Structure 1
Amino acid sequence: MISVVIPLYNKEASIAQSLKSVLSQEYDDFEVVIVDDGSTDGSVSIVEAMNNPRIRLIKQENGGPSKARNAGVKNAKGEWILFLDADDEFLPGALEYFAKNINKHKDTSFIFAPFYTSRCGNKKLACKYQEGVVENPYKEHFFGRILPRTGAFVCTRELCLKEPFNENIRRFEDLEWLYRIYKHTKIYKIPTPVLTTNIDFSAASRARKDIKEDFLGHLDFNGKSFWEKMALYAFYLGERNYYPEQCRKLYPGLHRRYDWLLLYKLIHFLK
């Protein structure tokens, strides 16, 4: 069974459509675990009104997406977990496609696929993959050749219990989680898109007041491989302007690592 885990917080404008995209799947060996994270709008009423036996609704006080996902995993009955954001939509056949690849690649615990982005009605493919094992995920992530995202990957419940989401992080918590599981998880990429992510509803780009609620506030370069360091550094370069003062205090020497900056630019130049 695949458990579709949906963290829900004030998504009354999109949750019905997201759920319809799940419940309309022809593949039927799945459940939907919705964790309401203290919504203050009509999101919960919309879910309850659907009255579908596949849906289990769990309510908790607001604790952020990581806490909601972890709660969903703990309550899930399936051996495989698929995290879906409450404003994204599965494409037809998505669950069946994942199920076929789960059965085909029994030696892996993480399988991901391409997805579309939609903004103001304009839809485009965010990434393309050739099927196969990802040998060095940090390197591939650094060059933007892979882009796993919630809704477009499936992983084992065992992996999620072993490596839960960091509940202190509310921005880029999924990236922090990915960088942890990359260390010890065989991951497999498949070529057919499975999801449309609706950027119109997304609030992920908004910086937090406290950098410690952002993955950017938890970067650790000690004991990391070369490509993991480069992936972390690339993330730092892309996000540091959101927290200029906090970054200087937290990473006093990093903004002066001109050797790393030169190496970063050289790698991109030579790729």
Structure 2
Amino acid sequence: MITILTATYNRYTTLPRLLKSLREQSSKEFEWVLIDDGSSDETQHFVNELKETNLGFELTAVRQNNAGKHAAINSGVVAAKGNWIFIVDSDDALLPDAVETVLASVAAATSSTVGLCYRKAYFSGELLGNEIKTAEPSLISTPTEAGKLFKGDLAYIFRTEVMSKFPFPIFEAEKFVPELYIWNKIGDVGDVVFFTRKVIYLCDYLEDGYSRNFSRHLRANPKGFFIYYWSQFLREKTLFYKVKNLIRSAQCLLYMLLGRP
């Protein structure tokens, strides 16, 4: 069994779409761990209704005070019962064969494999990022290098035992740490298999999401971004990327000195 982990905050309007996609999975060999990060909308009403519904899979719902997606993921990892964790955002959805596809890859994974990664597409069907034209359907890489190759968000699945060793750091009064900071740490201890063409995940970028509000989140979470950019500065091999991450690190230090707006 795998764990589908969803951290949600004020996504009452999109959660039904995700739920529908989970109920339509060709394989029900999964549990859904839903972490409500202190929502102020009707999310809890939605969760209470779910608890009274025969979903066809196990649901674990946890509510916590608003602390950010990274903290909610930490809580979800603790609550997870599956051997692998598939992180699915609350405003996204899965294709019907997603769980079946992941389970097949899990069955074929070697002991050195710590992560699996698939492609995402927009709800329109358009692929996120580059179309990869290779003879092989998969490759082994690091999350950082894969980001340069694919040029688009990817759907990650990690071993639960490995994720539990690398919780997101928590900084007082901050609510965000880039996920790649932890994904890279996981990739340092084993192989991450990237499937170059297989799409299992559908998404959009909402107006209030992190991707559309990068500058504001950087100013509000300088410590969380600093540890990410500094780690990237140390990790990168080329001068261009080292300088890019060094500049971002300096920007974060400046925001720390000036204080958050």
Question: Shorter-chain TM-score category?
Answer: 0.7 to 0.9
User: What's the C-alpha RMSD, in Å, of the aligned pairs?
Assistant: 3.0
1:182-234 deviations in whole A, cap 9, x for unaligned? 32221101231000112136511322243425424643259934438765654
Question: What is the match of residue 174 of structure 1?
Answer: 179
Secondary structure at the residue paired with 2:5?
strand
Structure 2 distance, partners of 1:195, 1:72, is 20
Of 150, 160, 164, the residue aligned with 2:163 is: 160
Alpha-carbon distance change, 222 to 134 in structure 1, aligned in 2, over 3 angstroms: closer
Question: What is the match of residue 115 of structure 2?
Answer: 110
- 8 Å Cα contact 2:234-2:242 kept in structure 1: no
Aligned positions of 1:5-20 closer than 5 A: 5-20=5-20
Structure 1 distance, partners of 2:244, 2:143, is 14
Bigger strand fraction: 2
Question: What is the match of residue 199 of structure 2?
Answer: 193
- Per-residue deviation at 1:166? 2.7
1:212 aligns with 2:234: no
- 8 Å Cα contact 1:172-1:204 kept in structure 2: no
- Per-residue deviation at 1:23? 2.1
Taking structure 2 as the reference length, the TM-score comes to 0.79
Letter in 1 for 2:145: K
Question: What is the match of residue 203 of structure 1?
Answer: 209
- 8 Å Cα contact 1:10-1:41 kept in structure 2: yes
Gaps of 5+ in 2: none
- 8 Å Cα contact 2:233-2:241 kept in structure 1: no
- 8 Å Cα contact 2:114-2:187 kept in structure 1: no
1:96 aligns with 2:100: yes
Alpha-carbon distance change, 179 to 228 in structure 1, aligned in 2, over 3 angstroms: farther
Fraction of identical pairs, as percent: 20
Secondary structure at the residue paired with 2:149?
coil
Alpha-carbon distance change, 178 to 20 in structure 1, aligned in 2, over 3 angstroms: same
- 8 Å Cα contact 2:70-2:176 kept in structure 1: no
1:11-58 deviations in whole A, cap 9, x for unaligned? 011011111111221212110011111110001211221323621111
Secondary structure at the residue paired with 2:47?
helix
- Per-residue deviation at 1:61? 0.9
1:33 aligns with 2:33: yes
Gaps of 5+ in 1: 252-271
Secondary structure at the residue paired with 1:180?
helix
How many residue pairs were aligned? Answer: 241
